[in-house]
């Protein structure tokens, strides 16, 4: 029983590939719902597309496991993965990064700040910007939902798996 708590928690979690498969299956369900909503004129096709794009981006690149240097999501950033080192230093794995609300919000804010910084640098290079006005609220909502849902699914899968395995182990004793 000389295992550290972090090691035990890691053993109890689904792998990154298991998370990715689960999130991809959920994406199929979400897209099916979006198709029905578009077909019934409840949402615009643009918003369904924004949702799907944000979901895929989040599923592949904004995992709650970005605080682990060995995670697939961390390595998918390629040469830009160094951008996530400060995040990994600030957030300990399975702490704030795996909170249902604050975890996804911290990653969204982190990417948002990077986007604002890049946008400011781009605007400094151009005297006149071709960037238009603010996007409509429905577009922002679609993007936020697309970013949030894979994170929520990841965290819930971790929690459910941990609970199930602990109960199973307890019943063996």
Tokens of 20: 């990715």
- Which of 19, 23, 51, 56 lies closest to 35, judged by CA? 51
Cβ atoms of 152 and 103 within 8 Å: the answer is: no
Spatial separation of the C-alpha atoms in residues 5 and 44, rounded to whole Å:
47
Rounded distance between C-alpha atoms, residue 67 and residue 87, angstroms: 6
Distance (Å) of CA 147 to CA 23, 103, 112, 113, 165: 12, 11, 12, 15, 28
Q: What is the pLDDT of residue 1?
A: 40
- Series of mean pLDDT values for 10-residue runs along the chain (173 residues): 43 71 95 96 95 95 86 91 88 78 88 81 65 75 94 89 74 66
∠ at Cα 61 (152, 35), nearest 5°?
A: 60
pLDDT at 3: 43
Return the pLDDT at 41: 95
Q: How far apart are CA 94 and CA 14, in angstroms?
A: 13
Instruction: Provide the pLDDT for residue 17.
Output: 80
Residue 173 CA to residue 170 CA, distance in Å, equals 5
């Amino acid at each position: 029983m000389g295992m550290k708590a972090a090691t035990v928690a890691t053993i109890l979690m689904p792998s990154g590939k298991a998370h990715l498969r689960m999130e991809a299956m959920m994406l199929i369900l979400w897209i099916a719902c979006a198709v029905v909503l578009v077909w019934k004129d409840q949402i615009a096709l643009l918003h369904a597309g924004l949702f799907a794009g944000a979901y895929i981006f989040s599923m592949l690149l904004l995992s709650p496991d970005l605080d682990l240097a060995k995670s697939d999501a961390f390595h998918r950033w390629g040469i830009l993965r160094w951008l996530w080192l400060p995040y990994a230093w600030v957030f300990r794995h399975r702490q704030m990064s795996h909170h249902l609300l604050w975890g996804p919000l911290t990653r969204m804010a982190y990417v948002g700040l990077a986007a604002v910084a890049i946008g400011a640098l781009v605007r400094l290079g151009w005297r006149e910007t071709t960037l238009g006005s603010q996007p409509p609220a429905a577009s922002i909502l679609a993007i936020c939902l697309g970013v949030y849902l894979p994170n929520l699914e990841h965290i819930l899968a971790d929690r459910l798996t941990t609970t199930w395995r602990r109960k199973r182990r307890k019943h063996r004793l």
